[in-house]
Amino acid sequence: MQRILIRLFTMLITLFGVAVVVFIVIRIAPGDPIAMMLPPGATDEDVARLRALYGLDKSLLEQFFVWFGGIIQGDFGTSISLRQDVLGLVLNRLPATLELSLFALLIALSIGGPLAIWGARERGTSIEAGIDIANGAALSIPDFLWGLVLILTFGVLIPVFGISGRVSPRLDLPFVSQFYLFESFFRLRFDLTKDLLSHMFMPALALALPLAAIISQLLKQSLKEVMDLDYVVLARVKGFSETQVILREALKNAALPTLTLIGVQFTFLIGGTVIIERLFSYEGIGNMAIDAVINRDLPLIQGIVLVFALLFVLVNLAVDMTYTLLNPRLRNA
Amino acid sequence: MPSEHTRPHRFNTRLWLAGGWLLFALALALLAPWIAPHDPLAQDLLYGRLPPFWSEGAEPGLWLGTDSLGRDLLSRLIYGGRIAFMVAFAAATAACLVGSTLGLIAGYFGGWPDRIISRIVDIWMSFPPVLFAILLVAVLGTGLHSVIIAIAVIDWTRFCRVIRAEAMVQSRMDYVESARIAGFGRIGIMIKEVLPNVMPSIIALLSLEMGIAIIVEAILSFVNLSIATDDPTWGGLIAEGRLSIHQAWWVLVFPLIALFLTVLSFSQLGEGLKQRFDPILR
């Protein structure tokens, strides 16, 4: 319990730190966003009025506390380029990014997990060596390059998947929420689910490949470490097959160290959505973030970076809590 | 035991292949003005989107074809390598200097320096790196300097985390204790005793970081936020290629191959060096 409280406290400090850094970075930016908003004929009074409207006429410290006070109350300000409430804009796009990240995590687990088990079963053979080489390659190539390779292979060479957007534009969407994938599934509109998945598959795979390699490598390593422990040997003596031994006995204990690492790596994956969404013209917050930077839309950038930071610390907190729950040594501490 | 003989041999081949490609690419980049067959900026709209030499409709002398403005792709690729390597060396070195120094201090001294540095690292790691890079370049203004500064500002944490952990392990070793008893100062021990022992990791990370820096530069070029001039970059070529992917696949494929090989080589070189320097693995 105490462990989690300390964790929550450091999480708040981290978020505050992120807010300070974003604020400072953006304020030292040359180029006046207000001047960019107004037509060329605007008078100095117009500029001053707009400055006051966005609170840019106050001192930096004042600006920070006004802005930070707003955030605590859920007021992230108004986007300069889109002239809409920042929180609303971000919440509108966030589900798309969350669905993409979770789908990518699912792909990474379903590639990495079985590979690890297979590699552990065939330890010391050329199959394991082959898995190691594949892992090494998948790890050294970042998601951006995987994305481009996938676009070329499955978008152009053998065009089976969509390479841009979240859903085909000709479909009309009956959705009330922005969680298109979940909603299409629960409304039993599998035609839409299929279309969404075909658009999501390649960006998700690009994000998933490096993570799949890490999962496979680490889980295989931990499995190999427990494979010679007494209780595993006992299960083997009882007559279980090697695969059964791994699935029934070894996996439970080997999964714990992998879990912690998946947490950190999952935050990297979420960070990767920024460029991957851009590459596949997928309408999530990452893509919106790049537009915001190009348009010098300060309030929107601040909002998006903070949402990302919040996601990161929440993932870490979730992993920490799961770890505490699953690890008997920490449960009663 | 056969495995002990095959293992070093395999990684040596990898090391040679990786080093060989990097030297080749670096030489091309350095000698670009003498090697490149054409001016990378010269447009010729009559020769737009010509395919590479083995395809029908290719023009002799334009080996890898041309882009939509009729610029020679091979020359653009060679010149693009200059920016890539410049960013790789400068940004990785800067990130390494900052990150390793802070990591060494945090790991060796522990206590409050460690707490402060670790908290800053935590905060830094809560930023999506790509977004952070784009934001920094937008703030600093486009240009080679901004790209290098942005990468260094973001990626020092990679060095800091690893070197901190290693310095922490080293500082508990007997040799550090003996040096202290022998009367050496704390900073002296850190530089003369601990630093040489974490050096292999620093070199390996440096090589990895060069590959990462090249990717970040390519990403920045891709969103049109890298160097402000017309000079070709691999990321810029990729961005052009992504737009004309259905009409001229080669504009995307060749820079992608160059990027792929270079990044893979830097990471293999890093891995190989780590194994070579690691006394336990060796």
Interval B21-55: pLDDT, tens: 999 999 988 988 888 787 787 777 777 777 776 77
Q: Is A20 in the same domain as A165?
A: no
- Is residue A83 included in any domain, yes or no? no
Contact B128 A308 (CB under 8 A): yes
Q: Is residue A81 part of a domain?
A: no
**Tokens representing residue A124 in the block:** 């010391």
A62 and A186 co-located in one domain = no
Q: In this prediction, what percent of chain A has a pLDDT beyond 90?
A: 15
Å between B139 CA and nearest CA of chain A: 4
Domain B13-29+64-277: which topology? MetI-like fold (1.10.3720)
Q: Which residue from B29, B4, B38 is spatially nearest to B79, judged by alpha carbons? A: B29
When pLDDT is averaged across residues A21-35 and rounded to a whole number, the result is: 70
Residues B263, A145: C-beta atoms closer than 8 Å: yes
Question: Is there a single domain that holds both residue A121 and residue A20?
Answer: no
**Binary contact (B135, A13; C-beta < 8 A):** no
Place of tokens 């995307």: B252
Query: If you average pLDDT over residues A117-126, what whole number do you get?
Result: 85
- Same domain for A37 and A127, yes or no, is no
Number of domains chain A contains? 2
Chain B residues 239-268 with a CB less than 8 Å from chain A: 242, 245-246, 249, 252-253, 256, 259-260, 263-264, 267-268
User: Quick one: A216 and A188 in the same domain?
Assistant: yes
Return the percentage of chain B with pLDDT > 90, whole number: 28
Q: Is residue A79 part of a domain?
A: no
Of all residues in chain A, the one with the smallest CA distance to B153 is A25
What pLDDT score does A35 carry?
61
In terms of residue numbers, what domain contains A36? 2-72
Contact B127 A274 (CB under 8 A): no
Last residue of a domain, one of A38, A72, A106: A72
Q: What is the pLDDT of residue B86?
A: 93
Alpha helices in A122-250 (DSSP H): 126-140, 143-150, 180-186, 190-226, 230-237, 242-245
Q: Give yes or no: residues A119 and A45 share one domain.
A: no
Residue reference for tokens 């809560």: B126
Predicted confidence (pLDDT) at residue B195 exceeds the cutoff of 70: yes
ipTM of the complex: 0.84
Same domain, A124 and A216: yes
Looking at the structure, tell me whether residues A162 and A219 fall in a common domain.
Answer: yes
Residue A154 domain flag: yes
Tens of pLDDT, residues A139-196: 888 889 999 999 888 877 777 777 777 877 777 777 777 787 778 777 777 788 888 8
pLDDT of residue A106 exceeding 90, the answer is yes
The residue ranges of every structural domain in chain B are: 13-29+64-277
- In this prediction, residues B85-111 reach a mean pLDDT of 93
Of A14, A44, A72, which closes a domain? A72
Residue A82: inside a domain: no
Cβ–Cβ below 8 Å for A274 and B131: yes
Residues B137 and B132: their CA atoms lie apart, in Å, by 9
User: Both A170 and A251 in a single domain?
Assistant: yes
Q: For tokens 């960013």, what's the residue?
A: B87
In this structure, is residue A14 part of a structural domain? yes
CB-CB neighbors (< 8 A) of B132 in chain A = 305
Q: Are both A182 and A325 inside the same structural domain?
A: yes
- The sign of the CA dihedral A32, A37, A39, A42 is negative
CATH code, domain with A246? 1.10.3720.10
Instruction: Give the distance from CA B199 to its chain's centroid.
Output: 18
Q: Report how many Cβ contacts below 8 Å link chain A to chain B.
A: 124
> Has residue A253 been placed in a domain?
yes
Same domain, A15 and A125: no
CA distance A129 to chain B (A): 11
